[in-house]
Structure 1
Amino acid sequence: MIAVGEQKHLQWSEAQYTRGNELLRLGQQERKLSKLAEAIDAYHAALTGISRARLPRQWARIENNIGIATFMIGERANDQERISEAIGIFRQALDEGRLAQSAADRGATLKNLGIALLALGQRKGERGALSEAVASFEDALKELDPDRSPAEWAAIKVYFGDALIGSAALERQTENRSRAIMAYREALAVFARIGAPRERAMVQVKLGSALLANGDAERDILSAIDASREALKALSGEADSMQRLRAEIGLGNALKRWGESTSDRISLEEAVDSYRRSLSMLTRRDSPLIWASVQNNLGGALAILGRIEGDATKMREAISAFRSALEEWTPERAMRENEIVRRNIVRASSALESVK
């Protein structure tokens, strides 16, 4: 039987936990770091009102939420130390609730740990963190029943794919990229089954990018084109603007790859149109490096068209796009990319002389 004094402590702890949840919600919604910091304080206050030994499940749940708030602060402030701190908190929550956590709670904490590890691995280029993220998502999936929690299971599958893509990029592993493609397709099947078109479209964007990175196989390029087009059909409105931009860029990249490999003018012209639509969705001030990347890709598509058609006007347009890219891809900000674009200009200038 719980003593009266202990009951009051538990009630106070529950009130602080509820307050922390509301502050966490506001911090997510309003993107205010101060609200997230207040949420952490409320959660720490909640922990003082319960016994870790007697209530390990509740303790682990509060620790998990402290980790979420800490991670959000780290991600929004680009603070790697706070992200690392969040990783430690999630691990502690898993350790504390090892025997008491429900499968759902443990799966959620493993997912959160994976997300934090993925963010750290992507920022620092750490293979170890990305490998741990893959393992965390795999463990999280084991805790969930895809039939009982299909949306959550599919969301974790997508994160799992993201971690595999990150690992493949660092280690140049085609195996991990192939596993990621499979994970994205499994998630797509679930989102289609439960009727989640927006989530499905977002995964189509990722799938298209992964397929294109997988090589120059005809099947992969055509599948990437189809995935990007399917995504664009479902994405609309202000809330989807960034995903629509990614899909548009992905479509341009896939069409350019196909047009270049087959000398298909129609695909190259569609790629040019796709890149120009992408530029109309971008502001150079807010996204200078993405803007430069699209300008470079636009220049590449125009240059290929110019060579195929012997069109000096398109070659000049290509050179102009390359030069625009250099305005943001300076040697100080993007040395490797700057060198690539300069080589593109040399090739395009040489081709222009031959078609004059």
Structure 2
Amino acid sequence: MLSIFNRFVDWFLMREEGEDADAQNPAQLMQGISDVNVLIAEPDGKFASDEAKAALLQSIIGPLNERPGLSLRLINKSLQRSRKGSLSDQIEASIGNGRKWLEKEKCDLLMWGEVSLEDQAVRWYFLSAVEGEANLGMPAKLENLLVPFDPEKATLDVLYAAIFAATSPHHSTQALKIGEYLLGAVDPLTKLSSGLTSRKTSPAAKTSAMGMCAVVLANVARRAQELGWFDPAVKAFDTWESLVDKDKTPIEWALVKNHQGWLYDEMTNHEDDDQALEHIEKAIAIFEEVCTVLNEKQHPLEWASVQMRIAGTCSKIGRKMNDSDYLQKAARYYKKSMNIYTQAAYPLNWADAMSRMAKTMMLHGQMMKGAQSLEQAGVAFQAVLKVYTEEKYPALWASTQNNLGATLFALAKRDPSTPQWINHALICFDGARRYYEETGKTQMVHVIDKNISKAQDLKDQIEEELASDLLN
């Protein structure tokens, strides 16, 4: 068990840059680290009485406080979400207030919810104090768990694991402790379907619990070094699919389905995945299904996010397999996302999508004959620089200058008769080098020095050939 735990810790531990991870052993690191502190807001909605509300909250806080790794306390406030705008817009104000509460109370996670009298349950949402990037198996601001007013142990098992999965650690030592507790919470989840009874858990709550169970198991699989860890998550998603009714809870269906697609995408990161192409196609098909609910018209931001995810999936397999068709497909999905991520409305999202599309087209151009894709990549990188200016975003500016320089260098090799390309490439490399030298990024300086050397050699060669042609 210890060796499994130590391996899991290696997956989970997010080492801080420059930190000496071998200076202390796990036992020393975990001494003095507090549990995950969870703040629970009163659910929004009507209760039969104050006593009923108190009993409901105690049915969660009491049992979970008895479990290792958690410290839960109540805040006598409720968060309410708007019913207008996109899904993200609906809870944006709630998230802002929630983060203020977390900062004031010095807690790691906020649970807030909405009463569903029809289901005799509360739909609980999770908000981490540390805002991390969206990731496979991490319940984000929209994912939720429907918990009955009188929950049975199996439902609490899911809630317990979901809390750890949803918490972004403040530092690597906290990540170590969260990893231990998350690993300890996995075993009951693999037996969940037999632990939920129809007497205490409604079909809707059972489906919700199974969906969250699959998401949490996907979280563990993502951190694993072995492909076998994906099997429990795949089985959990299959069980959830046998229970879920897409028409009744379309949004919840789409959120869980999105993680399922992400899971198949993640499998292909393992070298021993001998079904990588099959898994990629399955991931793309699932993401496309998600877009039938999170569609462009009703949920534009969520739709655009899924387009970006499909594009990333296609780009990854295109690079891995040297497949130009997948790279072209990736570029198309990046372009589709910019239907929503316009430069005027969402400049940073637009620049990110445009930059990723440009990199994809650059790789595609290097595989193909002709200059069309490389020229499109060059135009896209130049457009990105309208947002990633040296004054506002110097690091992104330097990276884009380097990529533009590489694209122009590739074009100059294809067509030496256009000296402007190699001259512009050298200007781009010089600008990027200046930034990396000023910020002490010596490794990048060495990389760009090599680029400059190659570009200068090509320029000298072009000038010699031009001079020879003039003499002749």
TM-score higher than 0.5: yes
Equivalent position to 2:336, from 211, 227, 230: 230
SS, match of residue 234 in structure 1 = coil
Asked if residue 182 in structure 1 is aligned to residue 259 in structure 2, the reply is no
Distance in 2 of aligned mates of 1:284 and 1:81: 38
Shift of 1:236: 3.5
Q: CA deviation at 1:230?
A: 1.3
Aligned equivalents of 1:186, 1:88: Cα separation in 2 = 28
Residue identity in the other structure for 1:233: N
- Per-residue CA deviation, residues 207-238 of structure 1 (Å, 9 max, x unaligned), is 22332332333422322222221121232478
Identical positions, percent:
17
Alignment CA distance shift 1:225-1:116 (3 Å)? same
Structure 1 position 34 matched with structure 2 position 103 = yes
Could you state the TM-score of these two structures normalised by the residue count of structure 1? 0.71
Match of 2:121 in 1: none
CA pair 152-286 structure 1, distance change in 2 beyond 3 A: farther
Task: Give 2:355's aligned amino acid.
Answer: I
| Structure 1 pair 181–111 and aligned structure 2 pair: CA distance change class (3 A) | same
Residues 102-141 of structure 1 mapped to structure 2, 5 A cutoff: 102-115=206-219, 118=222, 121=223, 127-128=225-226, 132=229, 135-136=232-233, 139-141=236-238
Instruction: Say if 1:275 and 1:297, in contact at 8 Å, map to a contact too.
Output: yes
Shift of 1:179: 1.2
Q: What displacement does 1:302 show?
A: 0.9
Distance (Å, rounded) in 2 between the aligned partners of 1:280 and 1:288: 12
Aligned length: 331
1-side partners of 2:425 and 2:175: how far apart? 39
Larger Rg: 2
Structure 2: stretches of 5+ with no match in the other structure: 1-50, 62-72, 81-90, 113-149, 464-472
Distance in 1 between the 2:325 and 2:269 partners? 21
Q: Which has the higher strand share?
A: 2
Residue in 1 aligned with 2:309?
206
> Which letter maps to 2:458?
A
Aligned to 2:239: 142
CA distance in 2: counterparts of 1:185 and 1:339, whole angstroms: 42
AA at the equivalent of 2:311: G
What's 1:298 paired with? Answer: 404
TM-score (normalised: structure 2): 0.56
Deviation track 1:58-80 (CA, whole Å, cap 9, x = no partner) reads: 634652563355x13x1x65653
Residue 96 and residue 127 in structure 1: after superposition, are their counterparts in 2 closer, same or farther (change >3 A)?
A: closer
Cα shift readout 1:330-354 (whole Å, capped 9, x = no counterpart): 797584x655444322221111111
Distance apart, 1:282 and its partner CA: 3.1
The question of whether the paired residues in 2 share the 8 Å contact of 1:56 and 1:96 is answered with: no
Q: Which amino acid aligns with 2:210?
A: R
The answer for the alignment partner of 2:420 in structure 1 is 313
CA distance in structure 2 between the partners assigned to 1:174 and 1:327 by the alignment: 44
CA offset at residue 94 of structure 1? 3.4
1:247 aligned partner: 353
1:233 counterpart SS class: coil
CA separation of 1:300/1:201 partners in 2, compared to 1, >3 Å: closer, same or farther? same
- Are 1:13 and 2:111 counterparts? no
Structure-2 change in CA distance of 1:8 and 1:82 (3 Å):
same
Query: Secondary structure of the equivalent of 2:385?
Result: helix
Cα distance in 1 between the residues matched to 2:109 and 2:188: 15
Instruction: State whether structure 2 residue 205 is matched by structure 1 residue 84.
Output: no
Distance 1:190 1:339 in 2: 44
In structure 2, which of residues 372, 375, 394 is the aligned counterpart of residue 269 of structure 1? Answer: 375
Higher helix share: 1
The structure whose RCO (Cα within 8 Å, separation 6+) is larger is 2
Q: Of residues 429, 438, 441 in structure 2, which corresponds to 1:322? A: 429
The offset of 1:249, in angstroms, is 1.7
Deviations along 1:5-60, whole A, 9 cap, x unmatched?
Answer: x979725626966859859x8894354553685476999xxxxxxxxx98425634
Aligned twin of 2:4: none
Which residue in the other structure is 1:56 paired with?
153
Match of 1:66?
163
Q: Please provide the CA RMSD for this pair.
A: 4.4
1:348 to 446, 449, 455: 455
**Is the CA contact 1:177–1:210 (under 8 Å) kept in the aligned structure 2?**
no
